[in-house]
């Protein structure tokens, strides 16, 4: 009976969090952490001595400060929900690690694997989920909440899960056709509205995270997670020259500062492309002319606006000649 009352309280906590601005997935994560904390400390009554002992115990076990900071923030929200206003210990924010961005080769390998699996109801759906992530930049909570009516006229309507801007995102023609085919042939009719379904109804957060995690492990990338594809989408758009304000709209960011996080990552990507190009530039062919030595450098896929040939000519006397 006590457990039932606690579970009911947790559900009320989730509802309260959503009402105060959390997304559904964030609110549910906070509730799960409170459930875990209940095993270690008294969460019904504020006891700072017990909380400090808990923190010390966790630090001695090598738990990262980031984890403790999240736990204390969730506990603060819990006590506020109970009507207890308090400030719990905070920890200096450590530099965030570079987000994992899947490579083109990894994505191709995963999609090819999905295509070869015999259970079409499951694997056509899984392939299209990944492609929808890749070509829309949707967050996991946004993707699982997609409905059939959101797919229309070559685009998909995405409702923000972070109280930011809802958005209409264009889809590649082929993906749009594949989604329509999936709906007519392979979609499990276990939910009247959901675009992506399982045997139990609308596909849920934990099930989808597990699918992506298992695929990442299979291809040697256990760090792969649904948000990785959002990073891929944003950095790919920026690296290919899309205006940052357009990227902001497509990602649904309320502030452009959120989008700017991706600019340094895309600059790194551009740097890698430039390095590869420079390496190819200096695999050259010498051509002897009448009055000067010329070096012909073929510039990959580059084209010039002035109708040039894609050949760079360098004179031996030039101070910039590296011959």
Is-catalytic flag, 264?
Answer: no
Identify the pLDDT of residue 2: 72
Is-catalytic flag, 58?
Answer: no
- Structural domain for 297, as ranges: 283-323
CB 258 within 8 A of CB 281: no
Residue from 227, 269, 294, 298 carrying the catalytic annotation: 227
Q: Which H or E element spans position 293?
A: strand 293-298
The beta strand positions in 70-141, using DSSP E, are none
Identify the pLDDT of residue 90: 84
Q: Are residues 23 and 161 in the same domain?
A: no
User: CA separation (Å) from 146 to 113, 132, 157, 248?
Assistant: 24, 11, 8, 20
Residues ≥6 apart with Cβ < 8 Å to 238 = 244, 247, 262, 263, 266
Is-catalytic flag, 139?
Answer: yes
Beta-strand relationship, 197-198 and 167-170: unpaired
Identify the pLDDT of residue 91: 80
CA 273 to chain centre: 22
Identify the pLDDT of residue 22: 87
Q: Are residues 44 and 152 in the same domain?
A: no
Spatial distance between the Cα atoms of 105 and 232, rounded to a whole number of angstroms? 12
Spatial distance between the Cα atoms of 290 and 128, rounded to a whole number of angstroms? 59
pLDDT in tens, the chain (323 residues): 578 899 999 999 999 999 998 888 889 999 999 999 999 999 999 999 999 999 999 999 988 888 999 999 999 999 999 999 888 988 877 666 677 889 999 999 999 999 999 999 999 999 999 999 999 989 899 999 999 999 999 999 998 876 677 888 889 999 999 999 999 999 999 999 999 999 999 999 889 999 999 999 999 999 999 999 988 988 888 877 888 888 888 887 767 777 777 776 656 665 665 666 666 666 544 334 444 444 443 333 333 333 443 333 333 333 333 33
Identify the pLDDT of residue 160: 83
Report the CATH number that the domain containing residue 42 is assigned in CATH.
1.10.150
Residue from 125, 221, 225, 253 carrying the catalytic annotation: 253
In a domain, 293, yes or no: yes
Is-catalytic flag, 262?
Answer: yes
In a domain, 172, yes or no: yes
Q: Are residues 166 and 218 in the same domain?
A: yes
Residue from 139, 167, 187, 225 carrying the catalytic annotation: 139
Q: Are residues 56 and 121 in the same domain?
A: no
In a domain, 26, yes or no: yes
Q: Supply 57's token pair.
A: 């115990």
Matching residue, tokens 């392979």: 186
Q: Are residues 110 and 256 in the same domain?
A: yes
Identify the pLDDT of residue 265: 62
Residue from 35, 73, 162, 298 carrying the catalytic annotation: 162
Q: Are residues 138 and 253 in the same domain?
A: yes
Phi/psi of residue 316, nearest 5 degrees: -60, -30
Identify the pLDDT of residue 199: 95
Identify the pLDDT of residue 263: 72
Identify the pLDDT of residue 149: 97
- The number of distinct structural domains making up the chain is 3
In a domain, 268, yes or no: yes
Identify the pLDDT of residue 320: 37
Q: Are residues 292 and 202 in the same domain?
A: no
In a domain, 200, yes or no: yes
Cβ neighbour number for residue 28 with a 10 Å cutoff: 21
Identify the pLDDT of residue 270: 58
Q: Are residues 121 and 267 in the same domain?
A: yes
Q: Supply 167's token pair.
A: 């958005």
Matching residue, tokens 């095993």: 39
Spatial distance between the Cα atoms of 164 and 286, rounded to a whole number of angstroms? 57
Identify the pLDDT of residue 256: 77
Identify the pLDDT of residue 97: 67
- 151-152: strand order across its sheet: 151-152, 155-158, 167-170
Residue from 30, 127, 230, 231 carrying the catalytic annotation: 230
């Amino acid at each position: 009976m006590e457990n039932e009352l606690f579970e009911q309280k947790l559900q009320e906590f989730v509802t309260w969090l959503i009402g105060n601005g959390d997304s559904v997935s964030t609110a549910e994560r906070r509730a799960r952490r409170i459930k875990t904390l209940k095993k270690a400390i008294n969460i019904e009554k504020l006891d700072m001595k017990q909380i400090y002992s808990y923190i010390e115990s966790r630090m001695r076990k090598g738990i990262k400060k980031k984890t403790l900071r999240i736990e204390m923030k969730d506990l603060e929200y819990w006590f506020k929900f109970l009507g207890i206003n308090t400030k719990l210990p905070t920890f200096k924010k450590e530099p965030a690690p570079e987000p994992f961005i899947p490579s083109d080769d990894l994505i191709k390998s995963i999609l090819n694997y999905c295509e070869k699996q015999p259970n079409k109801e499951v694997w056509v759906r899984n392939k299209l989920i990944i492609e929808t992530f890749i070509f829309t930049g949707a967050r996991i909570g946004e993707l699982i909440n997609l409905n059939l009516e959101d797919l229309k006229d070559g685009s998909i309507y995405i409702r923000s899960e972070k109280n930011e801007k809802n958005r209409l995102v264009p889809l590649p023609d082929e993906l749009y056709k594949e989604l329509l085919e999936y709906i007519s042939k392979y979609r499990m009719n276990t939910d009247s509205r959901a675009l992506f379904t399982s045997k139990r109804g609308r596909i849920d957060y934990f099930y989808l995270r597990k699918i992506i995690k298992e695929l990442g492990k299979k291809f040697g990338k256990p760090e792969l997670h649904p948000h990785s594809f959002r990073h891929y989408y944003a950095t790919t758009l920026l690296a290919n020259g899309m205006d940052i304000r357009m990227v902001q709209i497509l990602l649904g960011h309320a502030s452009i500062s959120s989008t700017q996080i991706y600019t340094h990552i895309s600059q790194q990507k551009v740097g890698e492309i430039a390095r590869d190009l420079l390496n190819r530039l200096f695999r050259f062919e010498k051509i002897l002319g009448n009055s000067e030595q010329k070096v012909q450098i073929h510039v990959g896929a580059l084209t010039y606006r002035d109708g040039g040939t894609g050949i760079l000519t360098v004179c031996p006397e030039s101070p910039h000649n590296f011959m």
